[in-house]
RNA sequence: GCUGGUGUAGCUCAGUGGUAGAGCACUCCCUUGGUAAGGGAGAGGCCGCGGGUUCAAUCCCCGCCACCAGCUCCA
């Protein structure tokens, strides 16, 4: 993936972000030329390019982009020099007001007192901007306008909606081409596209948006993941619990969700004239289990885990495939422990996270989020918990980036961002200390001194939610799942119909060993079956003809290659078992 | 929720103010084929849903639902 660097790379006159910002100015001037009277919003460089926001009387269309690009090239040749001019605050506002640039006038007020106010100009177009910029717009570079979207002025939905044009720029055409190819690859791997192509999941207009239907293929993936998670949890001393999806509203009164989270929760339903709510989180349920008996320090830590399905209201416009839905299952757990146990528990959770994420080939970065302005709990407990998070990480040699003041109001946390095979970052795992719920539900344990004390509650999720994680996984692997979690692991293909019995026998053997196989034994051409298996990204094809039947062998064709390897069925089976049981990412 | 766009066969997409088409997939027949498309025939559509305009609406208008690109928010 493209790297954005603060400093220019070797052979490049300016940093990429400077170039992109300058190209956004170039674009703005072209838009002004084509649409006189346009009002300008902001136009910064961003991670992979730039954008500029405009207020136009007419909506832009995709096809207008070519026109704007053409005008940009014309301007770059005609008036290439970019020059900076310092102005006073009053002068800036007066000149912008005279042009009717109301958003820009407002932008002047956003500049802190005492800072320089500058205009950057090329030709007769100028913009309020702190720079820096490239010196000339006719330097060698490559750019492309990519898309149009709406966006609120200053990101505030109560303010006017502007039209945003996204684009990108690079110093070299090859780099732009590579970037466009990357965007293309992202589109090809889109989990929604692969979701239909590989028959993974669906959503339904008649069922409502934001609800995912898992088809057999994706059900197999999820089942494999759940099994993996269960093993790793059991190994680490977690207990499995199950809690109801619907409980009396008063539970969320006590937990505080009704006060702080109501707009995410669905309306109450009446059962025996009593209001009930669908759960938006699993924590209250786990606390209720904790509360059913008195706990001694000897019982702790208690680790309750649940694949808990929750329902949350999301605004219709944010729903997105499996990634953003209204009902989803969290791989949730709550650890109840004494303050002294916190550090060891955190280290253990970090180990679990590491194990799980590495199994999928994800690399990750961890962020320590500390006390925000508005927080509950004493300074001491915050300091102690933050220290425990730090020490737990240190114990595992895990470097922490600092997210100052990014903690939840109820406690500090460590968040994980994973990097997928396309170089994109996603927020995933999280470990959060909670001083709030133990308080609200008044849970206690009896300490060594015989006194009742407050346990600390640790919330943690490894995958986050099955929906979002697996949606991401589809794109990470591009549909090419490793053997252990592939929807179908083996496709069996007879060369002629007379080999079908042999193939059926092998299929039965593998299925008895809990492999997911598809036996393509119906009459039809071998080549079509190979095409089909290839399309479904099945890791292994076993093809059998006269030679294989005679020797109890199989011709093995691995996903992604056209080569075949003939081996005994026993050897293949051993290979398959090893790949599955080690959860290998390889096919050899 | 907001701005703009889209909704036609299982999938990808043409199309028209006079109730619809292609390719792939599917079914059947022929083909027995050594690693990505053999040949033929057939079936399949309340043209997202509801209302309006019109002699007539899949097409024009309005409302709703869902989806897409973003904004804002988030597991």
Q: What are the pLDDT digits (tens) for A265-324?
A: 999 999 999 999 999 999 999 999 999 999 999 999 999 999 999 999 999 999 999 999
Q: What is the largest CA-CA distance in chain A?
A: 92
Q: How confident is the model at residue A58 (pLDDT cuts 50, 70, 90)?
A: confident
Nucleotide lying nearest to A526, CA to C1' measure: B33
Nucleotide lying nearest to A497, CA to C1' measure: B32
List pLDDT tens digits, range A381-409.
899 899 999 999 999 999 999 999 989 88
As a rounded value in angstroms, the CA-to-C1' distance for A205 and B53 is 28
Q: 3-state DSSP call for residue A507?
A: helix
Torsion (CA) A357, A471, A278, A349 in degrees, nearest 10: 0
List pLDDT tens digits, range A415-451.
999 999 999 999 999 999 999 899 999 999 999 999 9
Would you state the pLDDT for residue A19?
94
As a rounded value in angstroms, the CA-to-C1' distance for A492 and B5 is 45
Contact between residue A211 and residue A325 where contact means Cβ atoms under 8 Å apart: yes
Please check the confidence at residue A8 and state whether its pLDDT lies above 80.
no
Q: How confident is the model at residue A7 (pLDDT cuts 50, 70, 90)?
A: low
Would you state the pLDDT for residue A112?
87
- What is the CB-side half-sphere exposure of residue A48 using CA atoms within 13 A? 15
Can A312 be counted among the known catalytic residues? Answer: yes
Contact between residue A350 and residue A393 where contact means Cβ atoms under 8 Å apart: yes
Can A74 be counted among the known catalytic residues? Answer: no
List pLDDT tens digits, range A33-53.
999 889 999 999 998 999 999
Q: Where are the domains of chain A?
A: 16-179, 201-477, 483-581
Would you state the pLDDT for residue A375?
85
Sheet holding A83-87, edge to edge: A83-87, A117-122, A125-128
Q: Which residue has the tokens 């239907």?
A: A213
**Helix or strand run (H / E) with residue A334:** strand A327-337
Instruction: Exactly one of A163, A279, A283, A390 is catalytic; name it.
Output: A283
Distance between CA atoms of residues A554 and A545, nearest Å: 8
Is A483-581 in CATH node 3.40.50.11540? no
Can A413 be counted among the known catalytic residues? Answer: yes
Is A16-179 in CATH node 1.10.287.1080? no
Would you state the pLDDT for residue A531?
94
Distance between CA atoms of residues A379 and A375, nearest Å: 10
Nucleotide lying nearest to A467, CA to C1' measure: B75
List pLDDT tens digits, range A104-113.
999 998 888 8
Nearest to A441, CA basis, from A518, A334, A351, A369: A334
List pLDDT tens digits, range A452-475.
999 999 999 999 999 999 999 999
Q: Are strands A274-278 and A425-434 parallel, antiparallel or unpaired?
A: unpaired
Helices (H) and strands (E) in chain A, counts: 18, 28
As a rounded value in angstroms, the CA-to-C1' distance for A314 and B62 is 27
As a rounded value in angstroms, the CA-to-C1' distance for A495 and B32 is 9
Nearest to A104, CA basis, from A14, A10, A25, A209: A25
Instruction: Exactly one of A192, A312, A326, A573 is catalytic; name it.
Output: A312
Nucleotide lying nearest to A315, CA to C1' measure: B1
Q: Considering chain A, what percentage of its residues have pLDDT values greater than 70?
A: 98
Would you state the pLDDT for residue A57?
83
On strand B, nucleotides with any atom < 7 Å from a protein CB are 1-5, 7, 11-12, 25, 31-38, 48, 65-75
Q: Considering chain A, what percentage of its residues have pLDDT values greater than 90?
A: 83
As a rounded value in angstroms, the CA-to-C1' distance for A205 and B62 is 21
Please check the confidence at residue A2 and state whether its pLDDT lies above 50.
no
List, in order, residues 6 or more apart from A141 with CB less than 8 Å away.
A19, A23, A169, A170, A171, A172
Would you state the pLDDT for residue A6?
58
Distance between CA atoms of residues A168 and A437, nearest Å: 47
What residue is closest to B3 (Cα–C1')? A150
Nucleotide lying nearest to A469, CA to C1' measure: B75
What residue is closest to B2 (Cα–C1')? A157
As a rounded value in angstroms, the CA-to-C1' distance for A203 and B67 is 10
As a rounded value in angstroms, the CA-to-C1' distance for A173 and B52 is 53
What average pLDDT does range A323-344 have in this prediction? 96
Q: What string of DSSP letters covers A275-306?
A: EEEE-S-SHHHHHHHHTTS--BTTT--EEEEE
Can A233 be counted among the known catalytic residues? Answer: no
Q: What string of DSSP letters covers A508-541?
A: HHHHHTT--EEE--SSS-HHHHHHHHHHTT-SEE
Q: How confident is the model at residue A542 (pLDDT cuts 50, 70, 90)?
A: very high
As a rounded value in angstroms, the CA-to-C1' distance for A158 and B72 is 10
Distance between CA atoms of residues A157 and A152, nearest Å: 6
What residue is closest to B10 (Cα–C1')? A196
Mean pLDDT of chain A: 93
Would you state the pLDDT for residue A4?
47
Instruction: Exactly one of A459, A460, A476, A559 is catalytic; name it.
Output: A459
Q: 3-state DSSP call for residue A248?
A: strand
Can A351 be counted among the known catalytic residues? Answer: no
Can A334 be counted among the known catalytic residues? Answer: yes
Q: Which residue has the tokens 């990750």?
A: A364
Distance between CA atoms of residues A458 and A21, nearest Å: 44
Would you state the pLDDT for residue A62?
80
User: Which residue spans within A37-132 are E strands per DSSP?
Assistant: 39-40, 45-46, 49-55, 83-87, 117-122, 125-128
Instruction: Exactly one of A93, A334, A468, A488 is catalytic; name it.
Output: A334
What average pLDDT does range A488-503 have in this prediction? 94
Can A330 be counted among the known catalytic residues? Answer: yes
Instruction: Exactly one of A413, A499, A516, A580 is catalytic; name it.
Output: A413
Q: 3-state DSSP call for residue A464?
A: strand
What residue is closest to B12 (Cα–C1')? A197
Sheet holding A363-369, edge to edge: A239-240, A302-311, A327-337, A456-465, A425-434, A413-419, A363-369, A400-403
Contact between residue A330 and residue A312 where contact means Cβ atoms under 8 Å apart: no
Would you state the pLDDT for residue A236?
97
Please check the confidence at residue A133 and state whether its pLDDT lies above 50.
yes
Would you state the pLDDT for residue A276?
96
What residue is closest to B68 (Cα–C1')? A320
Q: Which residue has the tokens 């839905």?
A: A325
CATH architecture of the domain with residue range A201-477: 2-Layer Sandwich (3.30)
Nucleotide lying nearest to A549, CA to C1' measure: B34
List pLDDT tens digits, range A143-177.
999 998 889 999 888 888 999 999 999 999 999 99
Q: In sequence order, which ranges of A160-261 are alpha helices (DSSP H)?
A: 173-189, 191-197, 216-235, 250-255, 257-260
Instruction: Compute and round to an integer the Cα radius of gyration of chain A.
Output: 29
- What is the CB-side half-sphere exposure of residue A271 using CA atoms within 13 A? 9
Nucleotide lying nearest to A408, CA to C1' measure: B74
Instruction: Exactly one of A64, A127, A332, A348 is catalytic; name it.
Output: A332
Q: How confident is the model at residue A1 (pLDDT cuts 50, 70, 90)?
A: very low
As a rounded value in angstroms, the CA-to-C1' distance for A238 and B9 is 51
| Torsion-angle region of A586 (φ positive above 0: left; ψ -120 to 50: alpha; else: beta) | beta
């Amino acid at each position: 993936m493209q790297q954005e660097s603060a400093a220019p790379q070797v052979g490049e006159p300016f940093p990429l972000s400077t170039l992109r910002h300058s190209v956004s100015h170039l674009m703005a001037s072209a838009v002004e030329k084509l649409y006189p009277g346009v009002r300008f919003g902001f136009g910064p460089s961003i991670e992979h390019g730039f954008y500029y926001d405009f207020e136009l009387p007419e909506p832009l269309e995709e096809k207008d982009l070519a026109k704007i690009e053409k005008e940009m090239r014309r301007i770059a040749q005609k008036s290439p020099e970019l020059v900076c001019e310092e102005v006073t605050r009053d002068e800036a506002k007066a000149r912008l007001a005279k042009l009717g640039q109301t958003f820009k006038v407002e932008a002047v007020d956003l500049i802190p007192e005492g800072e320089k106010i500058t205009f950057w100009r090329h030709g007769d177009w100028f913009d309020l901007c702190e720079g820096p910029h490239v010196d000339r717009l006719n330097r060698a570079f490559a750019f492309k306008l990519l898309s149009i979207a709406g966006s609120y002025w200053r990101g505030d939905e109560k303010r006017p909606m502007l039209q945003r044009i996204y684009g990108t720029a690079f110093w070299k055409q090859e780099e732009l081409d590579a970037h466009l190819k990357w965007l293309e690859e992202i589109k090809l791997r889109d989990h929604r596209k692969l979701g239909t192509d590989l028959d993974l999941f669906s959503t339904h207009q008649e069922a409502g948006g934001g609800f995912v239907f898992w088809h057999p293929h994706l059900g197999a993936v999820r089942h494999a993941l759940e099994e993996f998670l269960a093993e790793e949890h059991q190994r680490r001393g977690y207990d499995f619990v199950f809690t109801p999806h619907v409980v009396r509203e008063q539970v969320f009164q006590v937990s505080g969700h009704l006060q702080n989270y109501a707009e995410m929760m669905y309306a109450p339903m009446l059962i025996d004239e009593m209001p009930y709510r669908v759960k938006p989180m699993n924590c209250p349920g786990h606390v209720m289990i904790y509360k059913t008996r008195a706990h001694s320090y000897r019982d702790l830590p208690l680790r309750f885990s649940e694949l808990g399905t929750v329902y949350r209201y999301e605004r219709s416009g944010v729903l997105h495939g499996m990634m953003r839905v209204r009902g989803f299952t969290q791989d949730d757990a709550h650890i109840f422990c004494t303050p002294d146990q916190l550090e060891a528990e955190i280290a253990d959770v970090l180990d679990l996270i590491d194990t799980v994420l590495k199994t999928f080939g994800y690399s990750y970065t961890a962020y320590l989020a500390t006390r925000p302005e508005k927080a509950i709990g004493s300074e001491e407990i915050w300091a102690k918990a933050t220290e425990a998070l730090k020490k737990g990480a240190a114990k595992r040699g895990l470097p922490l980036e600092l997210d100052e003041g990014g903690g939840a109001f109820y406690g500090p946390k460590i968040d994980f961002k994973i990097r997928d095979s396309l170089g994109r970052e996603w927020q995933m795992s999280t470990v959060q200390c909670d001083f709030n719920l133990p308080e609200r539900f008044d849970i206690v344990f009896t300490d060594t001194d015989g006194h009742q004390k407050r346990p600390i509650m640790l919330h943690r999720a490894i995958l986050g939610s099955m929906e979002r994680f697996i949606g991401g996984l589809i794109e990470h692997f591009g549909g090419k799942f490793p053997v252990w979690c592939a929807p179908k692991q083996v496709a069996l293909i007879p060369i002629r119909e007379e080999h079908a019995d042999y193939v059926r026998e092998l299929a039965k053997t593998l299925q008895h060993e809990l492999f997911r196989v598809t036996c393509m034994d119906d009459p039809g051409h071998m080549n079509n079956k190979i095409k089909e298996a290839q399309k479904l990204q099945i890791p292994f094809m076993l093809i059998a003809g006269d030679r294989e039947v005679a020797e109890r062998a199989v011709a093995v064709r691995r996903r992604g290659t056209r080569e075949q390897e003939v081996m005994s069925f026993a050897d293949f089976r051993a290979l398959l078992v090893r790949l599955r049981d080690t959860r290998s990412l390889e096919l050899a």
